[in-house]
Amino acid sequence: MVNKEISSPPPSSSPDSSFTNYNNTVENDIINNDADLMTIIQKDFLITQKKIYLNNGSIAPVPISTIKAITDFYLRYSEHGPDSTIFNEYLDELKNETRKRVADLINCSPDEVIFTQSTTEGINFIANGIAWNQNDRILLRSSINEHHSNYLPWIKVANENNLIIDHFPKTNENFIQDFKEIFESNATTKMVTSSHVMYNDGSITPVEKMGNIIKKNGDDNNTTENNGDSKTFFSIDAAQSAGAIPIDVRKIKCDFLSFPAFKWICGPLGIGILYANKKSMNEIEPIFVGSGTAKIQECGEKFDKNIEKIQFYEYPEKYHATFRNYPGLAGLESSLRYLLRIGISNIYRKNRNLAKIFRDEIINIKDIVVHEAIEEDMRSSMVCFSFMNNNDIKTKTIVEKLQENGIILVEREIGSRKIVRASPHFYNSEEEILKTTNEIKYLNSRI
């Protein structure tokens, strides 16, 4: 009998999953076609026993394996002592293993991974660490389209440094051509930033094509050490893509990419990742400093603030002045192993299939409008919809009534327009999708 369980042990002695011996190089659509495997996966997510949870774009549940990994961390912490040699060696191994898993996820080098508390913190590291010059230009989407965590930090630094804010189009048939014209119209663009997947309509931004335009002087074989001669930084908010869509930072040619653990990676709260390629990393000044990140470089015989200078330690310590969420790191490492064993491509196919079923079931419901990319291949696994009539009342009521019935979706917005968003993940089943859409049909006919 073939063992279908997936192994995902962190750098600890205890197993972190009911899964062992799963080959993540399998290219077939295994989690769509293997009912036994889906049963095992659903058992690892306790919420599936009580609710239909379709809000992974906000916060995803964690598998039992991740809960065990965090518990195991605290057991080691308590048994060996938090500052013992044994525990510090384990901590160093945990950091290294987590960086390797992140490198596997986004195709970067392990030494280009910075630990953060969230996507937002990573973006703020970048926005506040760049040496801006007056009239430098930041190119981003409008506040109607872009999530505020990747909008407000740029507005803040623009106001503080007399920078210029310009916008590029959200999505249309000529997106890349329009972006190219806007980007090339001004030579002072210092930063281009965008969400990889838009949180309020699920559309996928063609970031690889954008990267080719921004880094057009780069090496065709692009490595993370060389993103071309472009003086423009390219930053990606991957909150809605990391863990759900295959990401290759070398192909994207981005300088920075920030994402959390608690969405599609199914990791713990309070931890995130900032990828910074080696070349660009050196141009970002740490915005926090403290013990463990820097030392006094020069000192006179007497204390003199004009003589003493700070010398930052090498990466990664120089960027980790405020990072202390090591239990979360254990959880993140475990969740990454879990997803990577299944394979992000497999997860992407499964999620797209679930989203297609959802969309096909609601697209012809009277009064419903689906908000999505025109091109099917630019649609992610999130399905966003609103109502032609009495929209504010209906979106609120639908979400509330579904929740009363144990089905979790979420209310979001596109500008001032309220929408309902469903974001299924690989542990969800087709039966759950059909039950949800049938309930939406029923509720819509009675509101």
Domain count along the chain: 1
Report the C-alpha gap between 150 and 91 in whole angstroms.
Answer: 31
* Residue range of the domain that includes 314: 91-338
What pLDDT shows up at residue 186? 86
Would 377 be classed as within a structural domain? no
Mean pLDDT computed over every residue of the chain: 88
Cross-strand partners of 129? none
Tokens 């025109």, residue located: 374
**DSSP secondary structure string for all residues of 367-434:** TEEEE--SSGGGB-S-EEEEESSSHHHHHHHHHHHHHHTTEE-EEEEETTEEEEEEB--TT--HHHHH
Q: How far apart are CA 162 and CA 102, in angstroms?
A: 36
pLDDT band at 222 (very low <50, low <70, confident <90, very high): very low
pLDDT digit string, tens, across residues 309-357: 888 888 878 888 888 999 999 999 999 999 999 999 999 999 999 999 9
Say if residue 404's pLDDT is above 70.
yes
> What are the distances in angstroms from CA 64 to CA 46, 226, 228?
8, 40, 43
Q: What is the mean pLDDT of residues 266-276?
A: 97
Per residue in 357-396, is it b (16+ CB within 10 Å) or e — as a string? Answer: bbbebbeebeebbbbbbeeeebbbbbbbbbbeeebeebbe
Q: Is residue 411 included in any domain, yes or no? A: no
Contact (CB, 8 A) for 224 and 249: yes
Q: Residue 38 carries which side chain, given as an amino acid letter?
A: M
Residue 439 lies in a domain: no
Task: Please give the pLDDT value at position 304.
Answer: 58
Q: Looking at the domain assignment, is residue 57 inside a domain?
A: no
> Do you find a cis peptide bond into 260, omega within 30 degrees of 0?
no
Q: Is residue 131 situated within a structural domain?
A: yes
What is residue 108's predicted lDDT score, i.e. its pLDDT?
97
Q: Residue 208 maps to which CATH number?
A: 3.40.640.10
Instruction: Note whether 193 and 235 are within 8 A (CB).
Output: yes
pLDDT digits over 94-130, tens only? 999 999 999 999 999 999 999 999 999 999 999 999 9
pLDDT > 70 fraction of the chain, expressed in percent and rounded: 87
Average pLDDT, integer, range 66-70: 98
pLDDT for the residue numbered 225 = 46
Does 113 reside within a domain? Answer: yes
* 300 has pLDDT over 60: no
Residue 320 lies in a domain: yes
Is there a domain that residue 163 lies in?
A: yes
Q: Which helix H or strand E contains 119, and what residues bound it?
A: helix 119-129
- Report the alpha-carbon distance of residue 288 to residue 285 in Å, rounded: 9
Mapping DSSP onto H, E and C, the string for 212-243 reads HHHCCCCCCCCECCECCCCCCEEEEECCCCCC
CA distances from 100 to 290, 333, 335 (A): 26, 9, 13
pLDDT on residue 303? 56
pTM of the model: 0.89
Q: Where are the beta strands (DSSP E) in 117-156?
A: 137-140
**Rounded CA separation 336/261 (Å):** 9
